[in-house]
Amino acid sequence: MLENCGSAAQAAISLYGMGTANVPVIGSAVRKRVYPPASYAMTRHFLTALATTAILTLPACSPAGDDLVERMGREHAGDTPAPSPAAGVEPAGEIAGSAVTYARIGDTDIEGYLARPAGDGPFPGVIVIQEWWGLNDNIKRMADRLAGEGYLALAVDMYEGEVATDRDGAMKLMRASMEQTDRLEENLRQAHGYLDAQGAIRVGSVGWCFGGGWSLRAAALLGDDLDAAVIYYGRVMTEESDLAPISAPILGLFGELDGGIPVESVREFEAAMEAMGKSASIHVYPDADHAFANPSGSRYNETAATDAWEKTLAFFEQHLGG
């Protein structure tokens, strides 16, 4: 799928208005033209060359994933993965955390972080999906917080061992990961299987930013096997074919000021879910920007983040039982 190409290409092709009968335009339908009188024939070659040059020098028409990466880059301009206040909150109960190998994709072992509540269980499980920075210590702290609430929390590694330390590095890792979505999907399948093997009585997912979009994708990917999914300002889907496999209830938490995940797309997602009879509870915080609850970065909004976390815990309690 290509985005953000049609309008620019139309502007360029207008240079060709004296020209040909059938003009294919990237990102839009074939445009029909009628040949002008013969007196214009000599100028048509010049206009053809001019329009071609204009189209070739347009901003790159990129797949939707690349466009998302660029939007995230703008949202995180000047940002770093420094711990936010969310990463500094101590777990409510006693927990134990350790590195675990939860998946093997091809010849690669995937190592994540498992935070376990005190006691023998069984516990409900949560797949914790990283921000665009990668599986850093701040995401592990969010797994600890969930474990403190009674959940077996597995923080997965979607970048397979790599972690970004600046915006450019995050853009590079996110773009590379989105070029191999089959590996990301298999990563989440095996994460669910790992929690199931650990005795999790029900399994949900939660993610921030990049991970928020993949929390929603996990609901579609895992279908009836996922019991709840929380999206913190992740990319949403609106096509019926994409949403059809979802059976888990969804909690979506978004910021009104988010330029990367526009509110209009969130409302379209909400309407699509409602039209299909699926459960989606959507909250848009009026004074919050993208990444307002991230455990990494400088965009933390305490009021919105605190309320969103309370909603997350209540949602998991209702659907997973903590």
Residues known to be catalytic = 209, 258, 290
Identify the CA nearest to 179 among candidates 42, 63, 55: 63
Asked whether the predicted pLDDT for residue 322 surpasses 90, the reply is no
Distance CA 192, CA 228 (A): 12
* Angle at the Cα of 207 from the Cα atoms of 184 and 171, rounded to 5 degrees: 60
pLDDT score recorded for residue 138: 98
> Model confidence at 66, in pLDDT bands (50, 70, 90)?
low
Q: Is 199 left (phi over 0), alpha (psi -120 to 50) or beta?
A: left
**Mean pLDDT for the stretch of residues 39-53:** 42
Cβ neighbour number for residue 286 with a 10 Å cutoff: 9
pTM > 0.75: yes or no: yes
pLDDT score recorded for residue 65: 52
Asked whether the predicted pLDDT for residue 46 surpasses 70, the reply is no
Asked whether the predicted pLDDT for residue 25 surpasses 60, the reply is no
**Mean pLDDT for the stretch of residues 100-119:** 97
Distance CA 17, CA 21 (A): 10
pLDDT over 90 percentage in the chain? 78
Question: What pLDDT digit, counting tens, does each position of 239-269 carry?
Answer: 999 999 999 999 999 999 999 999 999 999 9
In the chain the domains, ranked by start, together with CATH numbers, are: 2-60 (no CATH), 71-319 (3.40.50.1820)
Distance CA 227, CA 250 (A): 9
Cβ neighbour number for residue 296 with a 10 Å cutoff: 31
CB 296 within 8 A of CB 82: yes
SS3 248: coil
Question: What pLDDT digit, counting tens, does each position of 131-183 carry?
Answer: 999 999 999 999 999 999 999 999 999 999 999 999 999 999 999 999 999 99
Distance CA 216, CA 231 (A): 6
**Mean pLDDT for the stretch of residues 71-98:** 96
What tokens does 238 get?
Answer: 């609106």
**Mean pLDDT for the stretch of residues 186-201:** 98
